[in-house]
Structure 1
Amino acid sequence: MNKLYDIGLVGLSVMGRSLALNMADHGFRVAGYNRSPEVTDRVLREHPHENLSGFYSLEALVSALERPRKVFLMIQAGPAVDAVLEQLLPLLERGDVVMDGGNSYFEDTNRRAETLAEAGIHYFGVGVSGGEEGARRGPSVMPGGPREAYGAVRPILEAVAARAEDDKPCCAYIGPGGAGHYVKMVHNGIEYADMQLIAEAYLLLKYAGGFTNRELAETFAAWDRGELHSYLIGITADIFTRQDDLATGDLIDHILDSAGQKGTGRWTSIESLRQGVDVSMITAACSARVMSNHLERRARAGGRIAAVPVTGVDNKSAFAETVRQALYTGKIIAYAQGFSLLADASGRFGWGLNLGEIASIFRAGCIIQAAFLGDITAAYRADPALESLLLAPFFLDRVNERQEHLRRAAAAAVLGGIPAPALTNAAAYLDGFRARACGANLIQAQRDCFGAHTYERADRPGSFHYDWRKTP
């Protein structure tokens, strides 16, 4: 039998279906499979495509693929991936390639790659960002796996990826093992911080500035035409214009004030603690979502803890400008935290990450795509060993120029009783990053006093212990 299909795609729900059609649009013959046959039938019925065919067993799908076989998994992360791999493994041969496009934990990807490598099968963890529309029209793609096998999948991955303004595909080989999924994890962590910053800007403008939804829409639309231009700012401006289709008024005012999370932001926070890298804004964003879920407790506490009177602003235009510059400064710090974590992981795991290239593939297709990612790309190309984005000349100048706005916005939130954990953590991180004194000498003394953990001195090397029980 002639092997006609270029790639098999397992999992035809929203993301898998969209990616399969994207591949088909680019001339690749795609064999699609879903565990539920009715899903396969619905995709073929609702989205007929000459380059997409449905299969109803993994055996049939694998047997229809050109060698070396290429199988792309677009299924729920976790045990489902292991279950499908267990079924696939006996069907594959040495030299075949399996790609996992879900949000798998990078250590799981490392483990799976080692297992498949024993059978001579190449395994890639592929970060895919952009949501349904991105998967359909062009996502940011972050493949990690064996470099020697990347050539076999590169034409497909680069073809379906988004294209930046310079027409470069937003896809690049990231590194071995779980590197691709790790970078996607950090991308999502930055996304959490970015969304939280925007939410806090909204709260400040609405409750301290007294902005109406129409004024909010106009303000965010104006911001999207400048240096804050990004996918998230653009959709935020649009959200404030939408009328509710189920009740009177604006939709935003009828949406429950509680946000969920799927885990990648939380993983970023956990990994940062393991690695000893401060990503406090990402952690704050995760915690803010957790706090948002306690609606009943918040209601009870709101009736018992005195509210702080919110003082209005005299000049709405000037206040909006302060919030805009605070948002931009906070955004710089959030990205600096995320890329510091990537830099640490690069050395710790021996991945050799190209941070400039990673920033480059975030310029289009993904959720955090933003105008200033071009500036991040330029910063790392100018200095690949850059210690922190905050020390790159472009960003250093802007932080020095605008940190007062960050502090004013954070102070307005604190004094007005408006929760702004991302903005306040941004200011705290900036102060800790440049601090001459951060109180750690006292903490050393405390630890030595209660636990004899010893302390280090500033005037001589070595570890010391003081007898704190003796009379001063």
Structure 2
Amino acid sequence: MSNNLFHFGMIGLGTMGRNLLLNLADNGFSVIGFDKDEQKGSALLNESAPQHKVKTVSSLSEMVLQLEQPRKIMMLVPAGRPVDDVIDSLLPLLQPGDIIIDGGNSFFVDTLRRTTFLQSKQLHFVGMGVSGGEKGARFGPSIMPGGDVAAWKNLQPLLEAVSAKVNGEPCVAYMGKDAAGHYVKMVHNGIEYAIMQLISEVYDVLRTGLGLNNAEMHQVFTQWNEGELKSFLIEISAQIFLQKDPDTGKNLVDIILDKAGSKGTGKWTSQEAMNLPISIPTIDIAVAFRDISVYKDERVAAEALYQPKRTPIAANKATFIAHLGNALQAAIIICYAQGLAMLHKASSVYNMNIPLKNVVKIWRGGCIIRSLLLEDFYTAYQNNPDLANILLDPQLAKQLQIKELALRTVIVQAIQSKIAVTGLMSALGYLDAYTDANMPVNLIQAQRDLFGAHTYQRIDKPGIFHTQWD
């Protein structure tokens, strides 16, 4: 580094921003940070090690003057107007060729607008997804940059150094043109919603249907995590069942209110899928059920009114738990398939050139949806990089055909016990529809033509037709 200038700047020194800077410092890069809240800057300095070259500043102009060119400045601020405000503040301070990185969960349409605007100012803009939470940021996240290729090449050494590693390979890669980085992160979060919904439904079957206690569920999830279901979300679920509440001594999971929050990326995924259009029903259900959970008072009133009798599942516990594991694995494969099919479609519609092989490659480590399954997906895309849907891969098809009966068995038993497993049902419904060469929507087309003259196509000859119905 020349003239004692810094390699990298960060605007926003919350937990994620601080941890990413400390990760960079661990890897030998000199870093400089700014936050309006001086206490966050102090926290960065307190958490840094003696060998780190870390500095905080009290203004953006001070930061810009101390960065080597081309300047690499990352924002980790709330999505929306705050991102535009930071960009507006930086514009008078930067020079052509400098790089601005948005590492938050910005909506991809906003990223596309900012990319076009900053190109007109001869500045590079990189929309970059970062997954892994605060621990990932500190010790190795999955990183999803998109946008300008020249900017990616400049950032590549830093990002590869700080990312998670799988088999020695960094969990970062160029995700494609324009807003591809934030688009991939949006879909990543949609898949995350879906897998969490599926796990919660299986938890309910174990708890309500089979009567397992938390210690027993810890054991089940631990065993699952030692097999083909091995993943971050299964691992932390097992951990959660042992956590005690220091105030009451009870299992913490039992005293957490059943109202789920969200930050919008799941909703964006569902809305955008309908715009494309592409079908992602398991992600849609995950969003919808978080919404239902918010209406706690109404749910309490409805239970009192309907008095549903949730009956135990009459089955051998060990056998049914094995079915549950296979059902969960099948449904998770299908929800990944929905999200990856969405990326394939969006890449074509928006001309983003998203490399799906690299997407699943970098999701194998660091990110929230990392799982052993991604190795199978990586193999599938190596064999066919332009695979429209991973359900078309012969090896994955074999896996699903083996586990399909377990998924059906679990759903039937849960329905009979009045346990809501709508995520599992949506995954199976998607599989049944996707593997049906003759869906019944010919009747829908006839209805649409009869009441609205919307026309239809025929199976025996080309063209568009309309009938004067009797």
Structure 1 stretch 394-403 or stretch 309-318: which is displaced more? Answer: 309-318
1:26 aligns with 2:22: no
Q: Is the 8 A contact 1:22 1:135 kept in 2?
A: yes
1:361-440, aligned counterparts within 5 Å? Answer: 361-440=362-441
- What is the CA-CA distance between 1:175 and the residue it aligns to? 1.0
Amino acid paired to 1:220:
F
Give the aligned partner of residue 457 of structure 1.
458
The 8 Å contact of residues 97 and 123 in structure 1, kept in 2 or not, is answered as yes
Q: Which residue of 2 aligns with 1:206?
A: 207
Q: Please give the alpha-carbon distance, in whole angstroms, between the structure 1 residues aligned to 2:293 and 2:449.
A: 39
Is the 1:360–1:373 Cα contact (8 Å) retained in structure 2?
yes
Contact 2:313–2:413 (8 Å) recurs in 1: no
1:350 counterpart residue number: 351
SS at match of 2:306: coil
Whether the aligned pair in 1 keeps the contact of 2:208 and 2:312 (CA below 8 Å) is no
Deviation at 1:40, TM superposition (A): 1.3
Deviation of 1:467 after TM superposition, in Å, equals: 2.1
- Offset at residue 248 of structure 1 (A): 3.0
Q: How does 1:73-112 map to 2 (within 5 A)?
A: 73-112=75-114
Determine if contact 1:70/1:98 at 8 Å carries over to the other structure.
Answer: yes
What is the identity, as a one-letter code, of the residue corresponding to 1:86? D
Name the Cα RMSD after superposition: 1.3
CA distance in 2, matches of 1:342, 1:318: 37
Task: Please say if residues 308 and 415 of structure 1, whose CA atoms lie closer than 8 Å, have aligned partners that are also in contact.
Answer: no
- AA aligned to 2:140 is G
Q: How far apart are the structure 2 equivalents of 1:309 and 1:417?
A: 5
- TM-score normalised according to structure 2 size: 0.97
Gaps of 5+ in 1: none
For residues 271-290 of structure 1, the aligned pairs below 5 Å read 271-290=272-291
The number of aligned residues is 468
**Partner amino acid for 1:259?**
A
Aligned residue in 1 for 2:340: 339
When structure 1 is superposed on structure 2, of 342-351 and 133-142 the one drifting more is 342-351
Which stretch has the larger CA shift, 373-382 or 439-448?
439-448
Conservation of the 8 A alpha-carbon contact between 2:211 and 2:312: no
* Secondary structure, aligned partner of 1:403: helix
Residue 114 of structure 1 corresponds to 116
1:413-472 Cα deviation digits (max 9, x unpaired):
22211111210001100111011332211111111111111222222222222222x3xx
Change over 3 Å in CA distance of 1:308–1:432 after alignment to 2? farther
Aligned-partner Cα distance in 2 for 1:208–1:317: 13
Residue matched to 1:233: 234
Take 2:459 and 2:43, find their aligned partners in 1: how far apart are those partners?
69
Q: What residue identity is the alignment partner of 2:130?
A: V
Aligned partner of 1:69 among 71, 74, 77? 71
Task: State the alpha-carbon separation in 1 of the partners of residues 380 and 438 from structure 2.
Answer: 29
Contact 2:310 2:419 in 1 (8 A): no
Residues 3 and 91 (structure 1), Cα distance of their counterparts in 2 relative to 1, 3 Å cut: farther
Q: 2:134 aligns with which of 103, 128, 132?
A: 132
Q: CA deviation at 1:46?
A: 4.3
Contact map agreement 1:11 1:33 (CA 8 A) in 2: yes
What is the match of residue 167 of structure 1? 168
Q: Give the Cα–Cα distance (whole angstroms) in 2 for the partners of residues 269 and 409 of structure 1.
A: 26
**Structure 1 match to 2:145:** 143
Q: Which position in structure 2 is the counterpart of 1:7?
A: 8
Is 310-319 or 335-344 further displaced after alignment?
310-319
AA of the residue aligned to 1:424 = M
How far apart in 2 are the matches of 1:330 and 1:314? Answer: 21
Q: 1:210 Cα deviation (Å)?
A: 1.1
Q: Which amino acid aligns with 1:91?
A: L
Say which SS state the counterpart of residue 155 (structure 1) adopts: helix
Mapped to 2, the partners of 1:120 and 1:414 lie a distance apart of 59
Secondary structure of 1:126 counterpart: strand
Unaligned runs of 5+ in 2: none
Cα drift, residue 48 of structure 1: 5.2
| Conserved? CA contact 2:77–2:83, under 8 Å | yes
- The Cα offsets for residues 220-256 of structure 1, whole Å up to 9 and x where unpaired, read as 0000000000010000001001111121321111010
Structure-2 separation of matches of 1:229 and 1:48: 34
Percent identity over the alignment is 43
Which whole-Å CA distance do the structure 2 matches of 1:6 and 1:47 have between them? 16
Separation of aligned partners in 2, 1:182 and 1:252: 33
Describe the SS at the equivalent of 1:228.
coil
In 2, the alpha carbon distance for the partners of 1:290 and 1:366 equals 25
1:38, distance to aligned residue in structure 2 (A): 2.7
* Letter paired with 2:413: A
Deviation of 1:111 after TM superposition, in Å, equals 0.6
Report how far residue 288 of structure 1 moved: 0.8
* Residue type at the aligned position of 1:160: V
Range moving further from structure 2, 71-80 or 307-316? 307-316
Q: What amino acid is aligned across from residue 244 of structure 2 in structure 1?
A: Q
What is the one-letter code of the residue matched to 1:216? Answer: M
Distance of 1:140 and 1:94 partners within structure 2:
29
Q: Secondary structure at the match of 2:127?
A: strand
1:103 partner amino acid: N
Aligned letter for 1:111?
A: R
State the secondary structure of the residue aligned to 1:455: coil
- 382-391 or 41-50: which moved more? 41-50
Q: Do residues 321 (structure 1) and 317 (structure 2) align? A: no
Aligned residue type for 1:153: L
In the TM superposition, what is the alpha-carbon distance from 1:313 to its structure 2 partner? Answer: 2.8
Are the counterparts in 2 of residues 146 and 176 from structure 1 also a CA contact under 8 Å?
A: yes
Report how far residue 3 of structure 1 moved. Answer: 5.0
Q: 1:312 Cα shift?
A: 2.9
Structure 1 range deviating more: 264-273 or 347-356: 347-356
Given that 1:313 and 1:319 are in contact with CA atoms closer than 8 Å, whether structure 2 keeps it comes out as no
Distance in 2 separating the partners of 1:352 and 1:387: 13
Question: Which of the residues 154, 157, 165 maps onto 1:155?
Answer: 157
For 1:54 and 1:387, the matched residues in 2 are separated by 47
**Correspondence list, 1:184-223, <5 A:** 184-223=185-224
Amino acid at match of 2:174: Y
The Cα offsets for residues 98-117 of structure 1, whole Å up to 9 and x where unpaired, read as 11100011111111011111
Match of 2:125 in 1: 123
Q: Tell me whether 301-310 or 24-33 shows the greater mean CA deviation.
A: 301-310
